[in-house]
Amino acid sequence: MFEPVLTRNIHRPYSEKITTYLEHGGYNAVRKAFAGTPEEIIDMVKRSGLRGRGGAGFPAGTKWGFMPKDQDIPKIVAVNTDEGEPGTFKDREIVERDPHQIIEGVIIAAYAIGAGRAYVYIRGEFFLGVKRWIKAIADAYEHGFLGKNILGSGMNLDMSVHRGAGAYICGEETAMLESLEGKRGNPRLKPPYPAQVGLFGLPTLVHNIETLACIPHIIERGPEWFAGIGTEESKGPKIFSVSGHVNRPGNYELPLGISLREIIDEHAGGVRDGKRLKAVIPGGASTPILPANRVDVPMAFETLNAAGSQLGTGAVIVMDETTCMVEIARRLAKFFAHESCGRCTPCRIGSVRLYELLDRIEHGKGKPGDIETILETANGIDGLTFCPMGAALANPARSAIEHFREEFEFHIEHKGCLVKAVYSS
């Protein structure tokens, strides 16, 4: 029987308070971590199989292992609370309702890599999240979990919060570092990776907050417990944000490897109003759309790749039979065109061009050859940009055409919508 751990506190009264966290075993993992060496902690994270929950799924322990060992080099932990991916609302819930779980993960990560400074970057619109971060950090200082000589261990760690201004690109780790430095949030060319040259030129460990929230549980319950959940290549619990045409949208903490169908039908209460399922975006707006006949896929990094999509952030967007896929592709293209930072020409120009093409098809002004131009444009962006946003913005239009081409053709030929024609009659 799967037992949620990351969300275990969030329904308790005053779950955000340090007293509530301490009453339920909070900060015990820090004490346990201090009893081991930094190398032992890194080894535990490696053995757990934890992969980043921010979208890319990079193995966390491997990233910790990349940090330079030289004790004279100051190191930093950067905590990514930007959560800009449309459909994703898991990080906001953890920050608002259980911020100490993340702080505990940050302290353990800082101990393992020898960092003395942690910076939180948070999406500017998360007003409550900002307040909760500030209060939680102040309380952690007061209780001796942050600051000098934490719990008598000799370890020092300072932590502060910085607000972004609501730019999607600032969730990309190197753009986030630029923004933290007070500059325009443009991605940096990699390599060098942040673990080598990060914030203010110092080695920096960047993590999503769900990844960091897993750390205390790995230390408390052991890496074998964590690795015992999930699939061969995707271990541990995961919070899935489910939205769209379902009866019970919300965040669901479930084991990786659970089928997409089970998430939709069992946990989110099925498709609303008794309608048929048409398509699902399984991992946030930048992951390829899957048609209904592929929803038996296990929600894991490797299985979703094999099914033609990605796990991404685990944000499941459900669409019923009344959804026009041209309109979905158009709306997503509009989002990406608006959010392109403009640094790379294929993304800056291509995103707008994709939107214009999809907009004219949606509004009955599409021309023969537009579908081919969309695919050519999308292929001309993917892989040709500094950051992965190029691939991200190519995915929705490309996958919508791959699985629902007839809807695009109908729009162009009949200057109207096939779905509307069926459902308004």
Ligand X SMILES: Cc1cc2nc3c(=O)[nH]c(=O)nc-3n(C[C@H](O)[C@H](O)[C@H](O)COP(=O)(O)O)c2cc1C
Residues forming contacts to ligand X in the complex (CB under 6 A) are 52-56, 58, 80, 82-85, 168-169, 171-173, 206-208, 211, 387-389, 392
Distance CA 125, CA 349 (A): 27
Cβ closer to ligand X: 121 or 404? 121
Rounded to a whole number, what is the distance in angstroms from the first to the last CA of the chain?
47
Cβ closer to ligand X: 60 or 292? 60
Cβ closer to ligand X: 62 or 160? 62
Question: Least distance (Å) from ligand X to the CB of residue 173?
Answer: 4
Question: Least distance (Å) from ligand X to the CB of residue 237?
Answer: 14
CB 204 within 8 A of CB 194: yes
Question: Least distance (Å) from ligand X to the CB of residue 402?
Answer: 22
Question: Least distance (Å) from ligand X to the CB of residue 44?
Answer: 17
Cβ closer to ligand X: 18 or 239? 239
CB 64 within 8 A of CB 42: yes
Alpha helices in 114-208, H assignment, sequence order: 127-142, 173-180
Question: Least distance (Å) from ligand X to the CB of residue 209?
Answer: 7
Could you tell me the two tokens for 182?
Answer: 């007070």
Question: Least distance (Å) from ligand X to the CB of residue 79?
Answer: 9
Distance CA 347, CA 387 (A): 10
Cβ closer to ligand X: 38 or 187? 187
C-alpha 85, offset from chain centre: 7
Question: Least distance (Å) from ligand X to the CB of residue 225?
Answer: 20
Distance CA 246, CA 8 (A): 24
Cβ closer to ligand X: 38 or 312? 312
> What DSSP element (H or E) covers 79?
strand 76-81
Cβ closer to ligand X: 173 or 320? 173
Q: What number of helices (H) and strands (E) belong to the chain?
A: 17, 9
Identify the CA nearest to 251 among candidates 3, 34, 7, 82: 7
**SS3 of 306-365:** HCCCCCCCCEEEEEECCCCHHHHHHHHHHHHHHHCCCCCHHHHHHHHHHHHHHHHHHCCC
Question: Least distance (Å) from ligand X to the CB of residue 188?
Answer: 11
Cβ closer to ligand X: 15 or 287? 287
